[in-house]
Amino acid sequence: MDSGDSSNISFVRLDIFQKKHYNYIENGKRAKGGVVMAKPKKNSNRAKKSEPNFVLTFKLDTELYQEDILNKRLDIGRRIYNACLNELGKQYRLMIESKEYQRAIKLPKDDGTRNLVLQELNKKYRLTEYSLHDFVKPMQHHFKKELDALTVQKIATRCFKAFEGQIYHTAKKVHFKKYGDLHSLEGKSNGAGIKFRSKRLVWNGLSIKVLINHKDDYAQMALMGTIKYCRILKRGKNYYLQIVLEGVPPIKINKNGEFRHKVGSSNVGIDIGPQTAGISSNDKVSLLELAPEINTPYREIRKLQRKMDRSRRANNPNKFKVDGTFNRSNREPWVKSKHYLRDQYKLQRIQGKLSSLRRQSHNRLANEIISQGTEVFVEEMSFKGLQKRAKKTTLNKRGQVNRKKRFGKSLANKAPALFLSILDNKLRHQDTELHRIKTAEVKASQYNHVEDTYEKKELSERWSIIGKDRIQRDLYSSFLIMNVNPDLNSINRSLCVEKYERFKALHDQEIARLKATTCRKVASMGI
């Protein structure tokens, strides 16, 4: 919307809508450009993790020499990251080989003494974030013309958080970053280091124009908030500035002065799968494909990957053995031709477009769910487990061995975990969160509220018989999830009985819509 049209907004209508639905915004700042900035609530808890924030991303208008400087700084950051990772690995190996550590891990896990002893060992062997900050000080002094102290400290913090997975046994191994693998650098505040000043990125002698559309009312309003820190991001050949701001994002309004994304008051249940989501609320029932816009060009990707592999082998014969396998003993740098770099960029562009499209689709669906209600319930699900190959070897009717592949490709395309993360972040801006019910105890896919019984079903069974009705399995599970008890461990049968007739009517409407539509349908829908 053009800034000249801002006088046409009916603020009287906006005030009425706010008092009715968004009383907490009443004391916030109002903009005539189509957004409302909510005033951040005072939080007695001063912990940084509890403070909400959001990110604005702008493209940088870089010149060639500036790109060379940024590339150099990213590579310096990569080398510092690898040096930190190497230091943490050495100290960790020394710790686990010590007799003190061997005695500590034999203590009972429920005993609080065990954790205290392990914490003291971490301090003794310098496996703490601030010990790593001391380790990188000499490196920062050496590269002070390129990287400031705050940026180097943030690199150390980033490395330590990654290595924590190995310390606490949630990750098998933390890998070093190869050349060109570090795509971002960030500061710790907007007062020093990487700074945003007068629509420009200012950092250690660099001053780069930030491309901000003056007609983008959302961006203009958001920039009125307090900037926490800035991040430089490289995507393909382009550079971007990400500005992290305090508080919650501005609330968008349309030309009529109404909120573009309304907030509902119903409970919402979601039955999430690798490709689909069944959604139930008091007013709407939906069975949707996650990110339906995604159409991965597998053939084009395979052709590019084969072409790059041929080029890699032709230009680096010493990197491969006679049988074609990779030679791990060869430490020579890789030789990449111009054609290889061009194809690599093409592949990055394809993956980048798919990633942006997927994230946009997930944001739209999250807004749609919040318009139905902010008390959202979903089953806990291990998507990492679904990626793994099947352990058992099975045979089909012909006696042939079934494939052990499971849902890896579907999860890569649809990213259901990313969708739940986006939804949870949006709910936190509404002073709530995504409620995750315990799958093993609730057993929504097995429960029948009419007969009050549990029955295991094969994954191929997409329909359930509830009384005399034939109900789509995912939609029925979402209906049951919507009606869980406050303890999130069991289903409230009385609520199910009370709301079932309304659900059945909405369910039949959704099935009729799906049957009438000519668009692509996922096989797991059973339609």
Tell me the per-residue pLDDT of 169-192, one tens digit each, with 9 for 90 and over. Answer: 888 889 999 988 999 999 999 999
Shared-domain flag, residues 242 and 293: no
Which of 260, 275, 310 terminates a domain? The answer is: 260
- Is 255 in the same domain as 174? yes
C-alpha radius of gyration, the chain, whole number? 27
Same domain, 141 and 238: yes
Statement to judge: residues 175 and 33 lie in one domain: yes
Number of domains composing the chain: 2
Model confidence at 485, pLDDT cuts 50, 70, 90, reads very high
Last residue of one domain, picked from the residues 213, 237, 260: 260
The domain boundary residue, chosen from 243, 260, 277? 260
164, 97: one domain: yes
Instruction: Compute the average pLDDT of residues 155-174.
Output: 92
Instruction: Report the C-alpha gap between 174 and 127 in whole angstroms.
Output: 15
**Per-residue pLDDT tens for 444-475?**
989 999 998 998 888 888 899 998 899 999 99
Whether 247 and 338 share a structural domain: no
Tell me what the pLDDT averaged over the chain comes to.
87
Contact 367, 423 (CB under 8 A): no
Instruction: Measure the CA–CA gap between 253 and 320, rounded to whole angstroms.
Output: 59
Q: Ramachandran region of residue 217, left (φ > 0), alpha (ψ -120 to 50) or beta?
A: alpha
Task: Check whether 281 has a pLDDT greater than 80.
Answer: yes
Domain that holds residue 209: 1-260
Are the C-beta atoms of residues 481 and 378 closer than 8 Å to each other? yes
For residues 225 and 285, state if they share a domain. Answer: no
Say if residue 184 is in the same domain as residue 295.
Answer: no
Q: Over the stretch 413-449, which tens digit does the pLDDT of each residue have? A: 999 999 999 999 999 888 899 999 988 889 898 999 9
**288 in Cβ contact with 276 (< 8 Å):** yes
Check whether 53 has a pLDDT greater than 80. yes
Task: Spell out where 449-525 has E strands.
Answer: 453-454, 463-466, 469-472
Residue for token digits 């979402």? Answer: 478
- Quote the tokens at residue 279: 């959604």
Asked if residue 8 and residue 153 are part of one domain, the reply reads yes
Q: How many helices (H) and strands (E) does the chain have?
A: 15, 19
Give me the pLDDT at residue 33, please.
42
Residues 59 and 166 in one domain: yes
Contact status, residue 21 vs residue 44, Cβ threshold 8 Å: no
**CA–CA gap between residue 2 and residue 485 (Å, rounded):** 48
Please indicate, yes or no, whether residues 314 and 422 belong to a single structural domain of this protein. Answer: yes
**Cα 273 to Cα 145, 332, 420, distances in angstroms:** 50, 45, 11
Model pLDDT for residues 212-260, shown as the tens digit of each residue: 998 888 899 999 999 999 999 998 889 999 999 998 888 888 777 778 8
Cβ-based neighbour number of residue 25 at 10 Å: 20
Q: Are residues 347 and 457 in the same domain?
A: yes
pLDDT in tens, 7-45: 333 333 333 333 333 333 334 434 434 444 444 444 444
Tokens of 285: 């029932």
Q: Give the C-alpha separation, 359 to 363, whole Å.
A: 6
Tokens of 518: 């000519």
